[in-house]
Amino acid sequence: MNQLTFTTNQISGVQPERVTIDGKPFLRVPAVGVVEMVLNGRYLPAAEILASLPGWDGVPIPLDHPQVNGEFVSATHPDAQGAIVGYWGDTRADGAKLKGNMYIDLTKAAESNDGAALVTRLKAGEMVELSTAYFANEEEQAGYYAAKPYTAISRNLRPDHVALLLHKPGACSIKDGCGALRLNADSTLAEARKGIMVALFLPIEDARLLDLPEGVLPAGSEPMPAAEMHITLAYLGETDNTGADEAQIKGVLARLAADTEPFPVRIGGIGRFAKADSDRNAIYAQVDSRQLMKWRERLVSDLMFDAEAMPSMRHGFTPHVTLAYVPAGSAVTLPPPVEREILLDRLALAWGGQRTEYQLKPAALQANSKEEPEMDPKEKAKVEDAEKDAEAKAEPPVANAAKTEPKQEKPAAPPATITVNAEDWGRMNERLGALDKFLGDHGGFDGVAKTLAAASADHQVIVANEKREKDDLIAVLTANQSDLTKEDLEALPSATLHKLARAIGRSQPAQVDYSGRGLTYNAQSDEGWVDYDAPTASKEE
The domain total for the chain is: 2
Over the chain, what is the mean pLDDT? 74
Confidence tier at 389 by pLDDT (50, 70, 90): low
Residues 238 and 291 reside in one and the same domain: yes
In a domain, 155, yes or no: yes
- Domain finish residue from 185, 209, 240: 185
Of 9, 8, 12, residue with least CA distance to 189? 12
Confidence tier at 284 by pLDDT (50, 70, 90): very high
Residues 349 and 468 reside in one and the same domain: yes
Residues 137 and 24 reside in one and the same domain: yes
Residues 299 and 172 reside in one and the same domain: no
Of 498, 358, 253, 463, residue with least CA distance to 489? 498
Least confident span in 131-145, 268-282, 353-367: 353-367
Residues 325 and 245 reside in one and the same domain: yes
Q: What is the distance between the alpha carbons of residues 240 and 224, in angstroms, rounded to a whole number?
A: 27
Residues 270 and 344 reside in one and the same domain: yes
Beta bridge partners of 436: none
Q: What is the distance between the alpha carbons of residues 4 and 172, in angstroms, rounded to a whole number?
A: 11
Does the pLDDT of residue 515 top 70, yes or no?
no
In a domain, 394, yes or no: no
Q: What is the CATH number of the domain that holds 199?
A: 3.90.1140.10
Residues 216 and 147 reside in one and the same domain: no
Q: What is the layout of strands, in order, in the sheet containing 97-105? A: 17-21, 24-35, 97-105, 84-94, 60-62
Q: Higher model confidence: residue 414 or residue 18?
A: 18
Average pLDDT of span 322-326: 92
Residue 533: its pLDDT value, please? 54
- Domain finish residue from 154, 185, 216: 185
Residue 511: its pLDDT value, please? 42
In a domain, 407, yes or no: no
Of 54, 109, 58, 118, residue with least CA distance to 88? 58
Confidence tier at 304 by pLDDT (50, 70, 90): confident
Of 304, 285, 303, residue with least CA distance to 231? 285
SS3 call for 46:
helix
Residues 174 and 118 reside in one and the same domain: yes
Q: Does the model's pTM come out above 0.75?
A: no
Residue 288: its pLDDT value, please? 94
Residue 480: its pLDDT value, please? 66
Does the pLDDT of residue 264 top 60, yes or no?
yes
Residues 232 and 148 reside in one and the same domain: no
Q: What is the distance between the alpha carbons of residues 441 and 443, in angstroms, rounded to a whole number?
A: 6
- What residue numbers bound the domain in which 132 lies? 2-185
Answer for the pair 505, 23: CB distance below 8 angstroms, yes or no.
no
Residues 294 and 309 reside in one and the same domain: yes
- The CA R_g of the chain, rounded to the nearest whole Å, is 34
The bridge status of strand 346-351 relative to strand 195-201 is antiparallel
Residue 155: its pLDDT value, please? 87
For residue 169, give every residue at least 6 positions away whose Cβ sits within 8 Å of its Cβ, in sequence order, or none.
6, 8, 129
Residue 168 burial (CB count, 10 A): 10
For residue 448, give every residue at least 6 positions away whose Cβ sits within 8 Å of its Cβ, in sequence order, or none.
438, 439, 442
How buried is residue 497: exposed, middle or buried, by Cβ count under 10 Å (0-12/13-18/19+)? buried
Does the pLDDT of residue 407 top 70, yes or no?
no
pLDDT winner (highest mean) among 188-197, 219-228, 246-255, 516-525: 246-255
